[in-house]
Amino acid sequence: MIMDRQGFVQDIEFALLKGVTPMIDSSDFEREANARELLKYASEGQFEQALSSILPRCILSDIKNTTPVDQIVDIIQTCVKSYVSSGGSESWRQLEILLAAICSLQLFVQNNWTGPPTNKDPVQFLPYEESEFEKIKYHVLDSLQVDGESAYPLARFPLYLLIAKTLLQDCRESMSGCISNDWWLFRCLVTHQKLLQERSPTLKTAVVDLIDSVSKNDTLLENNENRLLKMQFYMEAHAASMFYFENTKAKQLIEVVQKGSGLQIELTGALGKRSRYQKEDQAELILKVSRQSEAGDSRDSERAEETMSKEIETGGNGDREKAKETASAAESGKEPEKIMPKDISLNDDTFLNHIEFTDENNPLNYSVSAVEQAIVLSVCLDMRYNNPAHERLTDVATLAFIHTLLHLPQDWCVQTVALNMRSQLEKDSRRRVERSMMQLEELVKQFDRPEPDGRTRLSLVYCTNLPPKWKIQEDLGDFFVSLGCISSAMETFEKVENWDKLIVCYVQLEKKDKAEKVIRERLAVKETPDLWCYLGDVLQDEQYYNKAWELSNHRSGRSQKLLGFLYLRTGKYKECIECFEKSLSINYLQIPVWYSCGCACLLVQDFKKAANAFRNCVTLESDNFEAWNNLSLAYIRSGQKERAFRTLQEAVKCDYNNWRIWENILITAADVGEFTHLIRAYHRLLDIRDKHEDPLVLEILVKAINQDLSDAQDKPASKLRSKALELFGRITSKVTNSASIWHSYSELVKGQENLSLEDEEKALQHLQKSHRCLTLVANWEKEVSKCEKICKRSIQLAEAYTSYCEKCGNTATAIQTASACKLMLRGVLSKIKQKQSTSAESVVPELQEDYNKLEEHLQETEQLLTRLKSAS
């Protein structure tokens, strides 16, 4: 009997996770009137009635009107423990507590994420006077504060969340027989996190542990009949992992989801028309969704799960008749009409509302279930997370996903998220901006509409990353700002109490005094650390941040973060580092703070701390190329050039087209002997910038090749000569006026073994071009340093001329070469003598030695020329 009862309870838990009405067929359960009634209400989405049944009876029963508010959570734990162990069937009592937790969580999510809002304030379940309700609300919000991060103050009915969290987390031991408790707790903590402004390390640790715990629960996830339910959990876990920067885990989870779903999701092309007057079809990017044959068609199985609702035996005939009607509808294949979020039409005189495909096999005509649509959405979110947000290709691909999801809507949450994403992507389009704004307004309005009911909307809320109502309102406010409608934006931001953005609007309108007045009015009602921080933002005064710090008992990481930014802007770098460190000790999941702290450490030349800050930054956000770049700088400044080079290799993966990163790779590669990477980096710089000059790096490369030095992998650099010659050829086709580059090119050609006459001629030509670049500089003869450099290059060129003349078999070519040498030497000597002579016979001491050598080379060249002419 106990084993049957346990299996029966598990079946009920599965049904609750799926959002369907469980099939009740147990004589044992017939005697449990309380549990049966509670399950009936919960499974039908009547969460308020369910809580009215159980909260006063066994969860809040020991709370009196004289009970201190701060003892409510402790008393709930005591009541639950006592109720579960107070005789009768422990399995049923544990199930009742779980149902109470689920109903509380669902009501909180319904009132803040999906709608429609409910009417009963959960404070009414407590035996307190109405005058105490406001005090209780503030206590609940304080109880939901984590790691110094405050809960969103306008969240509707936060007591529901506190009750759910208390039952699922604090009473976890009392519900050890419920296999789905950890999953619901995971959902509860993720919901709690979304109330906070910053990521919470405490919640992150708990969420990551719960993902592992549920993943290892074979009873819950390894049942083939619950394959889609398993996919739901992994989608929820994937979204949480992305949010908490657990990139490796997120990647593994989305792969499991795609493989387990049996869906093939790929971007492809199809011919179609985008505008009304388009005559010829064009290739359009489209998402193709198909099901692998071996996975089977899960749509029928899911439809059965959703429609085959079974009656709960209550002794009456009404429920039986209703169940028969539902079963009959399922058998006939008819589905009730679904009420979906309104998709606002484009109504443009040029562009069509959607792409019209000419192919009879329209790629949008696919058949998948609601859960499978959620999987497509998860793949889309993963793609956006792992690709640079600024790349247009990412946005185009996202729109392909969205068009596919909107074509055949299956689920309320999936449709809402897709419409919200489309609005964000279209707000910069001149022809679509109006639709984008109207769509956001529609998404806000739909929250309060009575249809569809809460149960329908909640179906896939946890695996679709649906934003709360106030976040969509904030997006609408941002939209107004982008359009220049500051007054409308301010009205929206004030409604949702987004003081950060409201202050920015007041600053734009040069009305700081009004912002100060609004915040001081709120402070007069109740002082909070966040409000003091906002006042500090308006007045840029550190005293208010310090007041917030003290009011929070040194737990407000936000106050120290903002004070740190204030010090950073005013150049007080040491003070700002101290503030950032205090903030990060409370909450280490703050990427902007790590980054700014690292920058401040660089400015005070504390390279060890800077490296640590940037390391933490890239650990949390692996695609932050600026942090990678600065981390390499910290390593370079501290003498760790090998680590700097490896760091830059990671940086360039995040922003492949950033020439500054490639330039840093180029320089660092030269320092550490990574000559292969040096050549690759230089080629990439030429791809990006067309022209790029770094003579010093090229000189190092040529020296390493000519001297056959070993690179960082202990391989001879001489093997890179052919690649280096190719690089120089590309550089000199773009940069023709660099004397240093032409000189290095000449040295590279001349350094070859068994130098042929043709190669020697090339080396001579490159050296000639180098010399010409030097002598074309205006007034070079007036500066001793430039004269000295040209003298040395002239001597080198004269030697190259002479060497070539001696090896050249053609007398006419040799005469021509010697004549060019003679002309070059005379020109240099003449200019130096004009501007740098001290008497008729001598030049300045710094040039005398080289000047004499040039005269000697001139005499030798004249003698050579005479011999060649006499021989001809």
Cα separation, 598 vs 615, whole angstroms: 9
pLDDT higher than 70, residue 42: yes
Joined together, the tokens standing for residue 543 give: 């005293």
Angstrom distances, CA of residue 242 to CA of 56, 378, 510, 614:
39, 11, 39, 20
At 273, which helix (H) or strand (E)?
A: strand 263-275
Which residues lie below 8 Å from residue 126, measured CB to CB, with a gap of 6+?
60, 63, 72, 136
Size (the chain), residues: 872
- 695-745 residue pLDDT tens: 999 999 999 999 999 999 999 999 999 999 999 999 999 999 999 999 999
User: pTM of the full predicted structure?
Assistant: 0.82
| Phi, psi at 829, each rounded to 5° | -60, -40
Strand order in the sheet with 351-357: 282-291, 263-275, 351-357
Q: Where are the domains of the chain?
A: 2-261, 657-752+760-776, 780-872
Which residues lie below 8 Å from residue 72, measured CB to CB, with a gap of 6+?
63, 126, 139
What residue has token string 């408790």? 181
CA torsion through residues 543, 549, 553, 554, sign: negative
Q: What is the pLDDT of residue 839?
A: 66
- 833 and 854 in contact (C-beta within 8 Å)? no
If one looks up domain 657-752+760-776 in CATH, what number appears? 1.25.40.10
Q: What is the pLDDT of residue 335?
A: 53
- 770-794 residue pLDDT tens: 999 999 999 898 889 999 999 999 9
Cα separation, 594 vs 630, whole angstroms: 12
- 443 and 420 in contact (C-beta within 8 Å)? yes
3-state secondary structure of 129: coil
List beta partners, residue 269: 285
List beta partners, residue 716: 710
Angstrom distances, CA of residue 482 to CA of 162, 392, 470, 474, 562:
37, 19, 18, 12, 25
Cα separation, 560 vs 557, whole angstroms: 5
Q: What is the pLDDT of residue 25?
A: 57
Q: What is the pLDDT of residue 754?
A: 83
> In angstroms, how far apart are the furthest CA atoms of the chain?
130
pLDDT higher than 60, residue 282: yes
Angstrom distances, CA of residue 63 to CA of 55, 58, 124, 126, 606:
11, 11, 13, 7, 56
Q: What is the pLDDT of residue 844?
A: 84
pLDDT higher than 90, residue 107: yes
Cα separation, 808 vs 298, whole angstroms: 83
Mean pLDDT of the 50-73 span = 87
| Phi, psi at 197, each rounded to 5° | -75, -35
Q: What is the pLDDT of residue 755?
A: 85
- 523-560 residue pLDDT tens: 998 899 999 999 999 999 999 999 999 999 999 999 99
Cα separation, 670 vs 655, whole angstroms: 21
Cα separation, 831 vs 846, whole angstroms: 16
- 26 and 14 in contact (C-beta within 8 Å)? no
Summary mean pLDDT of the chain: 88
CA quadruple 229, 233, 236, 240: dihedral, nearest 10: 180
Cα separation, 308 vs 306, whole angstroms: 6
What residue has token string 């009575």? 450
- 395-445 residue pLDDT tens: 889 999 999 999 889 999 999 999 999 999 998 888 889 999 999 999 999
- 547 and 524 in contact (C-beta within 8 Å)? no
Mean pLDDT of the 38-62 span = 88
